[in-house]
Structure 1
Amino acid sequence: MAADVGGDPEAFGVFYRRHVEALLAYLLRRTRRPEIAADVCAETFAHVLERLDVFDPARGAARGWLFTIARNQLIDAARRGQVEDRHRRSLGIEPRDLTDRDLASIGELATHGDAVELLLAGLPDDQREALEARVVQERDYHEIAASLAVSESVVRKRVSRGLRSLRTQLGGEDR
């Protein structure tokens, strides 16, 4: 990611736009408070921007790295009782006052996330684990297979079955 983004603000903007809604939804499901989710999200992206040089794609996808940082930011905020803003301050990013509309938009993300979690919860553990690793964490099949101690074809089959089951639950065609 560091090579892709480098010093290019537009490339980082693409990364941000690609992941901000999913990250906000993830944080909102855990905090149930839009303002805290927004603060942790902002601090997470600032942290990522500061630490692009340490990202190692051999250890996993950028999305997984982003969500790991967010999880750690959330844990730290819970321990301290407040969201840290060190990374934003070091980059000179001013805090943004959230409007009621902003908070409502963030709140809407929880509805979609809750529905997805319910659908995933209905899957067998092996399918859910494979789907989360492949789709949410964007890990490749080889990496997932190694971590689960199964073959790549087993992982592909679990992902395929999980997707087929989700499609069926959503009333789509079963191909």
Structure 2
Amino acid sequence: MGVWRSRPRSDHELLSRADPAAFGEFYARHERAVLVFMLRRTSSPEVAADLTAEVFATALEAADRFDGRDGAVAVAWLFGIARNVLSHSYRSARVRRDARERMGFPPLELSDETVEHLERLADVAHGEQAVRLLDQLPPEQREAVIAHVLDERDYAEIAVELQCSTAVIRQRVSRGLSTLRSLVPPA
């Protein structure tokens, strides 16, 4: 008798439920990528953590308005929120610190060990140049590269989420990485 495994729920499924556990799964799936995105832009673990919390608080508040039926992808939607939160914090010269409270989490207190861990995560992203390069990819390639390389998700999981074949995801990642290599100036 084989072991039956259910397929992972897609981001769209996680957002379309009025279930805190489902949103928690969405958060766990994408928190690292958003945190690295913020770290690379702020160079401050504390500010990056606050901005990341604000992104997910905003996403939680707007989850019922996300409509993935027309091909919208939750990761692109989430990073759109991240860009808006970052832009707003630059314009207002402040970071909202109530985001964790709005999500029902205790106030964030970063230990030295946590700060060092966040700084190591930032190094994994290969610097600000990598983010700018990713922005130059077509959306479907960028999504696939982020999901597979940065989020460390397997091809099958991404394929289920994006409702296409594993071969298509492999091709998008391969083409995306090839394009990125061509965009990096020789050392």
The TM-score with structure 2 as length reference comes to 0.64
Root-mean-square deviation over aligned CA pairs: 3.7
2:115 to 103, 106, 109: 103
Partners of 1:62 and 1:103 lie apart in 2 by: 28
1:135 to 112, 133, 145: 145
Asked if structure 2 preserves the Cα contact closer than 8 Å seen for 1:131 and 1:158, the reply is yes
C-alpha deviation, 1:141, in angstroms: 9.9
Partners of 1:140 and 1:3 lie apart in 2 by: 12
Runs of 4+ residues over 6 Å off in structure 1 = none
C-alpha deviation, 1:65, in angstroms: 1.1
Asked if structure 2 preserves the Cα contact closer than 8 Å seen for 1:43 and 1:88, the reply is yes
C-alpha deviation, 1:66, in angstroms: 1.0
Match of 1:4 in 2: 14
Structure 2 unaligned regions, length at least 5: 1-10, 148-157, 182-187
SS of the residue corresponding to residue 125 of structure 2 reads helix
Give percent identity, aligned residues only.
38
The one-letter code sitting in structure 1 at the alignment partner of 2:82 is: A
The one-letter code sitting in structure 1 at the alignment partner of 2:43 is: R
Asked if structure 2 preserves the Cα contact closer than 8 Å seen for 1:131 and 1:162, the reply is yes
Match of 2:67 in 1: 56
More helix by share: 1
Partners of 2:82 and 2:128 lie apart in 1 by: 19
The one-letter code sitting in structure 1 at the alignment partner of 2:18 is: G
Partners of 1:31 and 1:74 lie apart in 2 by: 9
The one-letter code sitting in structure 2 at the alignment partner of 1:109 is: L
Task: State the aligned residue count.
Answer: 152
Change (3 A) 1:95 1:158: closer
Match of 1:145 in 2: none
Which whole-Å deviations, capped at 9, do the CAs of 1:104-149 have from their partners, x for residues lacking one? 111111111016955994x9x6xx436214433889699xxxxxxx
Structure 1 unaligned regions, length at least 5: 143-152, 168-175
SS of the residue corresponding to residue 95 of structure 1 reads coil
C-alpha deviation, 1:85, in angstroms: 3.5
Change (3 A) 1:164 1:38: same
The TM-score with structure 1 as length reference comes to 0.68
